[in-house]
Amino acid sequence: MPELPEVETFKKYFDKTSLSQKINNVFIRDNRVLNVQEKIFKKTIRSNIFYSSLRHGKYLFVKLNSGFIVFHFGMSGDLKYFDDIKEEPKHSRILFEFENGNFLSYISQRMFGKVDLTNTIEDFIINKKNLGIDALKMNFEEFKKSLEKRTALAKSALMNQNIIAGIGNIYSDEILYQTRLHPKTKINEVNDSKLREIFETIKNVLKVGIEKKGILKTYPNDFIIPHRKKGELCPRCGGNIERLKIAQRHGFFCPNCQINHNKTSGD
Protein backbone atom coordinates (compact mmCIF):
# COMPACT_ATOMS: atom_id res chain seq x y z
CA MET A 1 0.00 0.00 0.00
CA PRO A 2 2.60 2.41 0.92
CA GLU A 3 3.26 5.96 0.00
CA LEU A 4 3.58 8.59 2.71
CA PRO A 5 -0.06 8.58 3.95
CA GLU A 6 -0.06 4.79 4.19
CA VAL A 7 3.24 4.72 6.06
CA GLU A 8 1.96 7.41 8.40
CA THR A 9 -1.07 5.20 8.99
CA PHE A 10 1.25 2.28 9.75
CA LYS A 11 3.14 4.50 12.19
CA LYS A 12 0.00 5.36 14.10
CA TYR A 13 -0.99 1.71 14.20
CA PHE A 14 2.48 0.70 15.33
CA ASP A 15 2.57 3.36 18.05
CA LYS A 16 -0.82 2.34 19.34
CA THR A 17 -0.06 -1.38 19.44
CA SER A 18 3.62 -2.06 19.78
CA LEU A 19 5.50 0.62 21.67
CA SER A 20 7.07 0.15 25.11
CA GLN A 21 6.74 -3.60 25.23
CA LYS A 22 9.60 -5.98 25.74
CA ILE A 23 10.22 -8.17 22.70
CA ASN A 24 10.66 -11.74 23.83
CA ASN A 25 11.43 -13.24 20.48
CA VAL A 26 11.60 -12.60 16.76
CA PHE A 27 11.00 -15.12 13.99
CA ILE A 28 12.32 -14.62 10.49
CA ARG A 29 9.83 -16.25 8.16
CA ASP A 30 11.74 -15.16 5.08
CA ASN A 31 15.15 -13.58 5.35
CA ARG A 32 14.97 -12.06 1.88
CA VAL A 33 13.30 -9.02 3.41
CA LEU A 34 16.25 -8.44 5.71
CA ASN A 35 18.98 -6.06 4.69
CA VAL A 36 21.09 -7.19 7.62
CA GLN A 37 22.38 -10.59 8.64
CA GLU A 38 19.68 -12.66 10.27
CA LYS A 39 21.90 -13.47 13.22
CA ILE A 40 22.69 -9.83 13.94
CA PHE A 41 19.06 -8.83 13.52
CA LYS A 42 17.79 -11.44 15.96
CA LYS A 43 20.46 -10.63 18.49
CA THR A 44 19.63 -6.93 18.27
CA ILE A 45 15.87 -7.36 18.56
CA ARG A 46 15.57 -10.03 21.25
CA SER A 47 14.92 -8.52 24.69
CA ASN A 48 14.81 -5.07 23.15
CA ILE A 49 11.98 -2.55 23.34
CA PHE A 50 10.38 -0.36 20.66
CA TYR A 51 10.72 3.03 22.35
CA SER A 52 9.39 5.46 19.77
CA SER A 53 8.93 5.84 16.06
CA LEU A 54 9.63 8.40 13.38
CA ARG A 55 8.60 8.47 9.75
CA HIS A 56 10.64 10.01 6.97
CA GLY A 57 9.15 9.71 3.51
CA LYS A 58 8.13 6.10 3.05
CA TYR A 59 10.44 4.81 5.79
CA LEU A 60 9.51 4.09 9.38
CA PHE A 61 12.25 4.23 12.02
CA VAL A 62 11.78 2.67 15.44
CA LYS A 63 14.11 3.50 18.31
CA LEU A 64 15.69 0.61 20.17
CA ASN A 65 18.03 0.49 23.16
CA SER A 66 20.74 1.43 20.77
CA GLY A 67 20.11 2.44 17.18
CA PHE A 68 16.98 1.96 15.12
CA ILE A 69 15.11 -0.62 13.15
CA VAL A 70 14.04 0.64 9.72
CA PHE A 71 10.88 -0.58 8.02
CA HIS A 72 10.25 -0.05 4.36
CA PHE A 73 7.07 -1.44 2.84
CA GLY A 74 7.73 -1.67 -0.86
CA MET A 75 4.56 -2.12 -2.91
CA SER A 76 2.72 -4.59 -0.74
CA GLY A 77 3.86 -4.11 2.84
CA ASP A 78 1.71 -3.97 5.95
CA LEU A 79 1.74 -4.43 9.71
CA LYS A 80 -0.58 -6.53 11.79
CA TYR A 81 -0.83 -6.85 15.55
CA PHE A 82 -2.66 -9.86 16.99
CA ASP A 83 -2.88 -12.03 20.07
CA ASP A 84 -3.18 -15.55 18.73
CA ILE A 85 -0.40 -17.11 16.70
CA LYS A 86 -3.05 -18.82 14.60
CA GLU A 87 -3.92 -15.38 13.27
CA GLU A 88 -0.51 -14.87 11.76
CA PRO A 89 -1.30 -13.37 8.36
CA LYS A 90 -0.35 -14.70 5.00
CA HIS A 91 2.94 -13.24 3.78
CA SER A 92 4.09 -12.52 7.31
CA ARG A 93 7.86 -12.24 6.82
CA ILE A 94 9.02 -11.16 10.25
CA LEU A 95 7.15 -11.95 13.43
CA PHE A 96 7.81 -10.14 16.72
CA GLU A 97 6.61 -11.79 19.91
CA PHE A 98 6.06 -9.49 22.86
CA GLU A 99 6.30 -10.25 26.56
CA ASN A 100 2.54 -9.80 26.91
CA GLY A 101 2.02 -12.71 24.50
CA ASN A 102 0.91 -10.61 21.56
CA PHE A 103 2.52 -10.49 18.14
CA LEU A 104 3.39 -8.04 15.42
CA SER A 105 3.81 -9.20 11.84
CA TYR A 106 5.76 -7.36 9.21
CA ILE A 107 3.92 -8.38 6.05
CA SER A 108 5.28 -8.18 2.54
CA GLN A 109 3.52 -10.07 -0.17
CA ARG A 110 5.88 -9.25 -3.00
CA MET A 111 8.92 -8.77 -0.81
CA PHE A 112 9.85 -5.44 -2.30
CA GLY A 113 9.89 -4.06 1.23
CA LYS A 114 13.02 -4.26 3.33
CA VAL A 115 13.84 -4.24 7.03
CA ASP A 116 17.15 -2.82 8.13
CA LEU A 117 19.07 -1.59 11.15
CA THR A 118 20.86 1.74 11.49
CA ASN A 119 22.81 3.49 14.22
CA THR A 120 21.32 6.87 13.49
CA ILE A 121 18.45 8.13 11.38
CA GLU A 122 20.72 10.70 9.75
CA ASP A 123 23.16 8.05 8.63
CA PHE A 124 20.38 6.11 6.95
CA ILE A 125 18.58 9.08 5.39
CA ILE A 126 21.61 11.01 4.25
CA ASN A 127 24.45 8.59 3.73
CA LYS A 128 22.72 5.39 2.85
CA LYS A 129 19.68 6.53 0.86
CA ASN A 130 20.30 10.20 0.16
CA LEU A 131 16.62 10.95 0.77
CA GLY A 132 15.17 14.38 0.21
CA ILE A 133 13.05 16.40 2.60
CA ASP A 134 9.92 14.81 4.00
CA ALA A 135 6.89 15.90 1.99
CA LEU A 136 4.71 16.33 5.05
CA LYS A 137 7.23 18.24 7.17
CA MET A 138 8.85 20.44 4.56
CA ASN A 139 8.13 24.17 4.39
CA PHE A 140 7.76 26.16 1.20
CA GLU A 141 11.34 27.45 1.20
CA GLU A 142 12.72 23.92 1.48
CA PHE A 143 10.36 22.74 -1.22
CA LYS A 144 11.34 25.52 -3.59
CA LYS A 145 15.02 25.06 -2.94
CA SER A 146 14.85 21.31 -3.48
CA LEU A 147 13.44 21.83 -6.97
CA GLU A 148 15.72 24.64 -8.02
CA LYS A 149 17.96 23.74 -10.94
CA ARG A 150 15.96 20.59 -11.54
CA THR A 151 15.02 20.04 -15.14
CA ALA A 152 13.12 16.80 -14.61
CA LEU A 153 9.53 16.30 -15.66
CA ALA A 154 7.07 17.30 -12.95
CA LYS A 155 5.89 13.76 -12.27
CA SER A 156 9.43 12.40 -12.12
CA ALA A 157 10.52 15.18 -9.81
CA LEU A 158 7.61 14.66 -7.41
CA MET A 159 8.30 10.91 -7.29
CA ASN A 160 12.07 11.27 -6.91
CA GLN A 161 12.78 10.29 -3.30
CA ASN A 162 16.13 12.05 -3.43
CA ILE A 163 14.37 15.37 -3.96
CA ILE A 164 11.23 15.01 -1.84
CA ALA A 165 10.58 11.88 0.18
CA GLY A 166 7.17 10.30 0.45
CA ILE A 167 5.32 10.88 -2.82
CA GLY A 168 4.87 7.94 -5.19
CA ASN A 169 2.96 7.13 -8.33
CA ILE A 170 -0.60 7.52 -7.06
CA TYR A 171 -0.19 10.70 -5.05
CA SER A 172 1.89 12.38 -7.74
CA ASP A 173 -1.00 11.80 -10.13
CA GLU A 174 -3.36 13.43 -7.64
CA ILE A 175 -1.14 16.43 -7.02
CA LEU A 176 -0.69 17.08 -10.73
CA TYR A 177 -4.38 16.62 -11.37
CA GLN A 178 -5.45 19.07 -8.68
CA THR A 179 -2.97 21.68 -9.84
CA ARG A 180 -3.95 21.09 -13.49
CA LEU A 181 -0.37 20.43 -14.39
CA HIS A 182 0.58 18.15 -17.24
CA PRO A 183 2.82 15.35 -15.93
CA LYS A 184 5.45 16.18 -18.53
CA THR A 185 5.80 19.82 -17.58
CA LYS A 186 9.41 20.57 -16.78
CA ILE A 187 9.53 21.38 -13.12
CA ASN A 188 12.01 24.24 -13.52
CA GLU A 189 9.63 25.96 -15.91
CA VAL A 190 6.85 26.21 -13.37
CA ASN A 191 6.39 29.76 -12.14
CA ASP A 192 6.42 30.80 -8.51
CA SER A 193 2.72 31.11 -7.89
CA LYS A 194 2.13 27.70 -9.45
CA LEU A 195 4.93 26.28 -7.32
CA ARG A 196 3.19 27.64 -4.25
CA GLU A 197 -0.02 26.01 -5.43
CA ILE A 198 1.73 22.66 -5.89
CA PHE A 199 3.17 22.95 -2.40
CA GLU A 200 -0.22 23.63 -0.84
CA THR A 201 -1.77 20.80 -2.84
CA ILE A 202 0.88 18.32 -1.70
CA LYS A 203 0.09 19.19 1.90
CA ASN A 204 -3.63 18.91 1.38
CA VAL A 205 -3.57 15.67 -0.61
CA LEU A 206 -1.33 13.99 1.95
CA LYS A 207 -3.53 15.25 4.76
CA VAL A 208 -6.64 13.79 3.14
CA GLY A 209 -4.72 10.57 2.51
CA ILE A 210 -3.82 10.29 6.17
CA GLU A 211 -7.36 11.08 7.27
CA LYS A 212 -8.61 8.36 4.96
CA LYS A 213 -5.89 6.03 6.24
CA GLY A 214 -4.71 5.43 2.69
CA ILE A 215 -7.89 3.57 1.76
CA LEU A 216 -8.08 4.76 -1.82
CA LYS A 217 -11.65 3.84 -2.57
CA THR A 218 -12.87 6.18 0.16
CA TYR A 219 -11.21 9.22 -1.40
CA PRO A 220 -13.39 12.12 -2.56
CA ASN A 221 -14.96 11.60 -5.94
CA ASP A 222 -13.48 14.82 -7.27
CA PHE A 223 -10.00 13.37 -6.75
CA ILE A 224 -8.49 11.57 -9.71
CA ILE A 225 -7.46 8.67 -7.45
CA PRO A 226 -10.83 6.88 -7.63
CA HIS A 227 -10.66 7.34 -11.41
CA ARG A 228 -7.22 5.93 -12.08
CA LYS A 229 -8.51 3.34 -14.50
CA LYS A 230 -8.79 2.99 -18.21
CA GLY A 231 -12.11 4.26 -19.52
CA GLU A 232 -12.80 6.53 -16.54
CA LEU A 233 -13.98 10.08 -17.02
CA CYS A 234 -12.51 13.20 -15.50
CA PRO A 235 -14.72 14.31 -12.57
CA ARG A 236 -14.02 17.92 -13.47
CA CYS A 237 -14.57 18.13 -17.21
CA GLY A 238 -16.01 14.76 -18.15
CA GLY A 239 -13.19 14.08 -20.60
CA ASN A 240 -11.38 10.80 -20.91
CA ILE A 241 -8.68 10.00 -18.39
CA GLU A 242 -5.54 8.90 -20.17
CA ARG A 243 -2.55 6.87 -19.16
CA LEU A 244 1.07 7.61 -19.83
CA LYS A 245 4.36 6.16 -18.77
CA ILE A 246 6.87 8.30 -16.94
CA ALA A 247 9.77 7.20 -14.80
CA GLN A 248 8.88 3.55 -15.28
CA ARG A 249 5.42 4.06 -13.86
CA HIS A 250 2.02 4.40 -15.40
CA GLY A 251 0.39 7.67 -14.48
CA PHE A 252 -3.16 8.80 -15.14
CA PHE A 253 -4.17 12.33 -16.08
CA CYS A 254 -6.79 14.39 -17.84
CA PRO A 255 -5.33 15.77 -21.08
CA ASN A 256 -8.07 18.37 -21.23
CA CYS A 257 -7.55 19.81 -17.74
CA GLN A 258 -3.86 19.26 -17.30
CA ILE A 259 -1.65 21.44 -19.44
CA ASN A 260 1.97 22.39 -19.67
CA HIS A 261 2.15 25.18 -17.18
CA ASN A 262 5.38 27.07 -17.40
CA LYS A 263 6.98 30.47 -17.59
CA THR A 264 7.27 30.59 -21.35
CA SER A 265 3.86 29.38 -22.41
CA GLY A 266 2.02 31.69 -20.06
CA ASP A 267 -0.74 30.11 -18.06
Partner DNA sequence: GGTCATGTTGACTA
Partner DNA sequence: TTAGTCAACATGAC
Residues found near DNA in the complex (CB under 7 A): 1-3, 6, 32, 57-58, 72, 74-75, 90-91, 109-112, 129, 149-153, 156-157, 159-161, 168-170, 214, 216, 245-250
Shorter beta-carbon distance to DNA: residue 65 or 264: 264
Residues in the chain, how many?
267
CB of 10 to DNA, least distance (A): 11
Give the residue among 228, 235, 108 at the shortest CA–CA distance from 169. 228
Q: In whole angstroms, how close is the CB of 32 to DNA at the nearest point?
A: 6
Q: Per-residue DSSP letters for 109-140?
A: SS----EEEES-HHIIIIIIS---EETTT--H
Please say which residue, 145 or 250, places its beta carbon nearer to DNA: 250
CB of 220 to DNA, least distance (A): 17
Closest CB to DNA among residues 1, 79: 1
Q: Which is nearer to DNA, 23 or 187 (CB)?
A: 187
Q: Report in angstroms how near the CB of residue 221 gets to DNA at its nearest.
A: 18
Report the nearest approach of DNA to the CB of residue 172 (Å): 8
Dist. CA 59–CA 188, nearest whole Å: 27
Q: Is the dihedral of CA 38, 123, 12, 18 positive or negative?
A: positive
With respect to DNA, which residue has the nearer C-beta, 50 or 124?
Answer: 124
Q: Which is it for strands 23-28 and 249-253: parallel, antiparallel or unpaired?
A: unpaired
- As a whole number of angstroms, the distance between CA 253 and CA 247 comes to 15
